[in-house]
Amino acid sequence: MTLEARNIHVTIKDNTILKGASLSVPKGKLIGLIGPNGAGKSTLLRAVLGLVDTQSGTISLDTEALSNWTLKQRAKKISYAAQGAPVHWPLDVEHIISLGRIPHLDPWQKISDTDNELIQQAMIKTDTLHLANRLVTTLSGGERACVMLARAIVSEADYLCADEPIASLDPYHQIQVMDILRDLANDDHGVLIVLHDLTLAQRYCDELILLHQGEVLSTGTAEQVLTPDNLDKAYHIRASRWQENGDSFLSPWKISGRPDHR
Amino acid sequence: MKINPRLLTLILSISLLIIAFLSLFIGAADIPAVDILAALSGTADTSTEIIIIELRLPRVLLGILAGASLGLSGAALQGLLRNPLADPGVIGVSATAGLGAVIAIYFGLSLLFPLSIQILSMGGALLATLILSFISSRDSSVLTLILAGIGISSLSTAAIALTMNFAPNAMSLQDMILWLLGSLENRTMTDISLAGPFIIGGWLIMRGVGQGLDASSLGEDTAHTLGINLKRLRMKVILGSAISVGATVSVCGAIGFVGLVVPHMVRSLIGHAPGHLLVPSALFGSILLTIADLITRIPLGHGQLKLGVVTAFVGSPLFLYIIYKTRGAMR
């Protein structure tokens, strides 16, 4: 059971964004999609969700081509937490989370007791129960991120794609969100996240995919991907590394060169 | 304090029935309530029946149909465009429908053939809809839709001004102005049978959009990943509101403000979820328009109040009050 993209090419208005990128998200794994700004991470994530037109390449969901699934069927299998967690109306938190049940409801169908049960569970998992009646406009960035995760979780999809779920969060909420995502993967979900924090990426992800100029530069475990050569080539940085209780960590440290402006 | 949407729908339905009956009751001839009921069930004497069924009933029915179209379209468009400033005017339909009517008056067609105003203005609304569908089929952004609507609207407004500028005589100029102010006076069952099917057809096209509009509050990408077909949603809302509002404007003239303010009034009662706003906004629109029509019947020294003027005068202060009260929530 895998969500897969093979050899994806995307060109938007004469800009080539992806040049044959591939990824694979098996159930039960937390996969980190990393790379510098403009490498094509968000585009690849959106391609996997069917949100961008691809020029070539195949996307498959549980061995069946994504295009063979209806929108509704896809929605039941893959959930998405968009970058910046946009909400356009001052809605209350419980209502927002309930929107995650839409894939399972007919247009006129109301939320049932079973749905409410799942909403409660999702709020417990994401520690948002106390926010249920708050308006989303009154939440902090960290609270908002957790609410959006609850909304994605409540759809009971096998796969979750999250675009920079921890961007601009404080360390507490970064770790909280990564813990939630890790738990989801341990719970046999396939989780794909775009992220910039290499320290957390190394610590939490089962596998990393390093994108560089629209291509996959390296893929594998954090040790295989975050090598000094790869960091230099993709990010033009050097990292400092240390060990604690038998685990190894790294932190971006110094600029090692200049990006070549294409 | 927020009210449950279903409770509000019930309260509004009952209020609408009462106000509609009140509207049948009030008029130049003094007719007791018993006789009104008799006329509605077809057992009254001929003169009472003529006054109630042929004079007052069309006016009341049209007020309900028009108000509901404007309220419903306003709520649906604000939800679709995720913009509290949207109303049927934003997509340009009101203006093109108005242009059609003004052209009919300009060429004196309304004198040759009484329904020409209605037919031309519905044609105008349809034209706006076709242009909008053409543009939105090539580009999927809602911003494009708003901008296209503004473009169509400005062009039609300019064309209306041009037509009035070259009005053949003072009489037809006055006809145009009066028509643009909107009214439910002297409407007959013929008007209703002409516009009614389009108005109700427009509502039917919009049925079931609530869920999609709710999902759209999380942005179009997220709505898509929740299984919502956005193109279909957009078509339903645009086409449905263009047809129902176009038909409304074609028989009632331009009635401003109802579509913009009604959803805000309902929001202040039940919250912002776009899907919950639809039915209460339709009912609230009907109530507001029926009340405004009652106000136009107040006898004044000379001339008569016009419906569009009253809706704006009743609606704007309420609107300003609500905006003042909720200014913190809109960010």
Give the percent of chain B with pLDDT over 70. Answer: 97
Region A212-229: what's the mean pLDDT?
95
Q: Which two tokens stand for residue A74?
A: 């896809």
Cβ pair A86:B218 closer than 8 A: yes
- Chain A partners of B227 at a C-beta cutoff of 8 Å? 70-76, 102-103
Q: Helix or strand or coil: residue B148?
A: helix
- Chain B partners of A95 at a C-beta cutoff of 8 Å? 271, 273
Q: Does B217 touch chain A (CB under 8 A)?
A: yes
Q: Does B1 touch chain A (CB under 8 A)?
A: no
Cβ-based neighbour number of residue A95 at 10 Å: 21
Task: Say which of A91, A100, A103 has its CB closest to residue B217.
Answer: A91
Region B249-271: what's the mean pLDDT?
89
Region B192-197: what's the mean pLDDT?
90
Q: Is residue A150 part of a domain?
A: no
Q: How far apart are CA A233 and CA A237, in angstroms?
A: 8
What pLDDT, on a 0 to 100 scale, did the predictor assign at position B331?
52
Q: Does B227 touch chain A (CB under 8 A)?
A: yes
- pLDDT category, B239, cuts 50, 70, 90? confident
Q: How far apart are CA A100 and CA B217, in angstroms?
A: 12
Q: Helix or strand or coil: residue A2?
A: strand
Q: How far apart are CA A139 and CA B253, in angstroms?
A: 45
- pLDDT category, B135, cuts 50, 70, 90? confident
Interface of A with B in 151-180 (CB under 8 A): 151, 155
Q: Does B14 touch chain A (CB under 8 A)?
A: no
Interface of B with A in 27-46 (CB under 8 A): none
What pLDDT, on a 0 to 100 scale, did the predictor assign at position B328?
65
Q: How far apart are CA B180 and CA B95, in angstroms?
A: 10
For chains A and B, count residue pairs whose Cβ atoms are closer than 8 Å: 84
Instruction: Give residue B187's identity as a one-letter amino acid code.
Output: R
Q: Is residue A123 part of a domain?
A: no
The residue in chain A having the minimum alpha-carbon distance to the alpha carbon of residue B208 is: A107
Q: Does A49 touch chain B (CB under 8 A)?
A: yes
Region A165-177: what's the mean pLDDT?
93
**β pairing state of A247-255 and A237-244:** antiparallel
Mean predicted lDDT score pLDDT of chain B: 87
Of the given ranges (A49-53, A186-190, A202-206, B45-49), which has the lowest mean pLDDT?
B45-49
- pLDDT category, A92, cuts 50, 70, 90? very high
Are residues B275 and B10 in contact, defined by beta-carbon separation less than 8 angstroms? Answer: no
For A7, the domain range is 2-80+158-255
Q: Is residue A86 part of a domain?
A: no
* Tens-place pLDDT, residues A109-151: 888 999 999 999 999 999 999 999 999 999 999 999 999 999 9
Domain count, chain A: 1
Cβ-based neighbour number of residue A84 at 10 Å: 15
Residues B5-15+58-325: name the CATH superfamily. Answer: ABC transporter involved in vitamin B12 uptake, BtuC (1.10.3470.10)
- pLDDT category, B214, cuts 50, 70, 90? very high
- Contacts of residue B37, Cβ cutoff 8 Å, sequence gap at least 6: none
User: Which one has a higher pLDDT value, B33 or B156?
Assistant: B156
What pLDDT, on a 0 to 100 scale, did the predictor assign at position B138?
60
What pLDDT, on a 0 to 100 scale, did the predictor assign at position B140?
59
Q: How far is A179 from chain B (nearest CA, A)?
A: 23
Q: How far is A234 from chain B (nearest CA, A)?
A: 29
- Chain B partners of A155 at a C-beta cutoff of 8 Å? 226
Cβ pair B218:A76 closer than 8 A: no
What pLDDT, on a 0 to 100 scale, did the predictor assign at position A101?
96
Cα R_g (chain B), whole angstroms:
20
- pLDDT category, B119, cuts 50, 70, 90? confident
Task: Say which of B209, B225, B331 has its CB closest to residue A75.
Answer: B225
Q: At residue B330, does pLDDT exceed 60?
A: no
Cβ pair B329:A151 closer than 8 A: no
Q: How far apart are CA A12 and CA B126, in angstroms?
A: 34
What pLDDT, on a 0 to 100 scale, did the predictor assign at position A160?
97
Domain spans in chain B, listed from the N-terminal domain onward:
5-15+58-325
Q: At residue B161, does pLDDT exceed 90?
A: yes
Region A41-66: what's the mean pLDDT?
93
CATH number at A71 reads 3.40.50.300
Q: Does B143 touch chain A (CB under 8 A)?
A: no
Q: At residue A261, does pLDDT exceed 70?
A: no
**β pairing state of A30-34 and A190-194:** parallel
What pLDDT, on a 0 to 100 scale, did the predictor assign at position B329?
60
Q: How far is B142 from chain A (nearest CA, A)?
A: 13
- Chain B partners of A83 at a C-beta cutoff of 8 Å? none
Q: Is residue A174 part of a domain?
A: yes
Cβ pair A50:B214 closer than 8 A: no
- Contacts of residue A145, Cβ cutoff 8 Å, sequence gap at least 6: A85, A165, A166, A169, A173, A177
User: Which one has a higher pLDDT value, B116 or B281?
Assistant: B281
The residue in chain B having the minimum alpha-carbon distance to the alpha carbon of residue A48 is: B225
What pLDDT, on a 0 to 100 scale, did the predictor assign at position A105?
93
Q: Does B293 touch chain A (CB under 8 A)?
A: no
Q: At residue B234, does pLDDT exceed 90?
A: no
What pLDDT, on a 0 to 100 scale, did the predictor assign at position B16?
96
Region A155-163: what's the mean pLDDT?
96
Q: Is residue A225 part of a domain?
A: yes
Q: Is residue A57 part of a domain?
A: yes
Of the given ranges (A95-104, B131-140, B265-274, B299-308), which has the lowest mean pLDDT?
B131-140
Give the percent of chain A with pLDDT over 70. Answer: 99
Q: Does B216 touch chain A (CB under 8 A)?
A: yes
The residue in chain A having the minimum alpha-carbon distance to the alpha carbon of residue B218 is: A87
Q: At residue B314, does pLDDT exceed 70?
A: yes
What pLDDT, on a 0 to 100 scale, did the predictor assign at position A209?
97
What pLDDT, on a 0 to 100 scale, did the predictor assign at position A69?
94
Cβ-based neighbour number of residue A94 at 10 Å: 20
Q: At residue B139, does pLDDT exceed 60?
A: no
* Tens-place pLDDT, residues B12-45: 999 999 999 998 888 777 778 788 788 888 777 8
Phi-psi region of A134 (alpha: psi -120 to 50; beta: other; left: phi over 0): beta
Q: Helix or strand or coil: residue B191?
A: helix
Are residues B251 and B186 in contact, defined by beta-carbon separation less than 8 angstroms? Answer: no
Q: How far is A96 from chain B (nearest CA, A)?
A: 8
